[in-house]
Amino acid sequence: FTMGKKPRVLLMGSRRAGKTSIFKTVFHKMSPHETLFLESTTMITRYDVSNSSFFQFSIWDFPCATEAEPAASDMESMLKGAAAIVYVVDAQDDLSESMPQLAKLVLKVQKHNPKILVHVFVHKHDGLSEDDKQEVYRSVSERLRSELQDESSSDFGVAYHLTSIYDYTVFEAVSRVVQNLVPHLSHLEGLLDALISKSRLDKAFLFDVVSKVYIATDSTPFDPQTYEVCSDMMDVVIDVSCIYGAGDDGDGQAYDTNSASVMRLTNGNVLFLREVSKYLALVCMMRQETADSLGLVNHNVDLFKSALKQLFEE
Partner 1 sequence: MSKQDLKKVLLMGKSGAGKTSMRSIIFANYVARDTTRLGATIDVEHSHVRFLGNLVLNLWDCGGQEAFMDSYFETQRDHIFRNVALLIYVFDIESADYAADVRYYKSCIEAIEQNSPHAKVFCLIHKMDLIADELREQALTERSDQVKSLCENVDVRCFGTSIWDETLYRAWSQIVYALIPNVQVLEKQIKQFAEVTCADEVVLFERATFLVIAHVSIKEHGDAHRFEKISNIVKQFKLSCGKVQSQFQSMEVRNSNFTAFVDQFTANTAVMIVQSDPIIQPSATALNIKLARAHFEDLIRHTAGVPQ
Site of interaction with partner 1 (CB under 8 A): 31, 33, 37, 166, 225-226, 228-229, 232-233, 235-237, 239-241, 243-248, 250, 252-267, 269
For partner 1, the closer CB: 189 or 232: 232
Label the pairing between strands 45-52 and 55-61.
antiparallel
For partner 1, the closer CB: 51 or 261: 261
Least spacing, CB of residue 36 vs partner 1, in Å: 10
For partner 1, the closer CB: 249 or 313: 249
Please report, for residues 134, 142, 248, 269, 274, the alpha-carbon distance to residue 278 in angstroms, rounded to integers and kept in the order given: 39, 43, 21, 27, 11
Please report, for residues 7, 18, 71, the alpha-carbon distance to residue 177 in angstroms, rounded to integers and kept in the order given: 12, 17, 26
CA 61 remoteness from chain centre = 16
Least spacing, CB of residue 255 vs partner 1, in Å: 7
For partner 1, the closer CB: 27 or 227: 227
Gyration radius of the chain's alpha carbons: 21
Least spacing, CB of residue 286 vs partner 1, in Å: 13
Least spacing, CB of residue 203 vs partner 1, in Å: 11
For partner 1, the closer CB: 68 or 242: 242
Label the pairing between strands 45-52 and 118-123.
unpaired
For partner 1, the closer CB: 144 or 201: 201
Let me know: does 62 contact 86? Beta carbons within 8 Å.
Answer: no
Residue 243 has a CB neighbour count (10 Å cut-off) of 8
Positive/negative CA dihedral, 59, 60, 65, 67: positive
Let me know: does 195 contact 204? Beta carbons within 8 Å.
Answer: yes
Least spacing, CB of residue 176 vs partner 1, in Å: 21
What does the angle CA 79 – CA 85 – CA 91 come to, to the nearest 5 degrees? Answer: 135
Least spacing, CB of residue 168 vs partner 1, in Å: 10
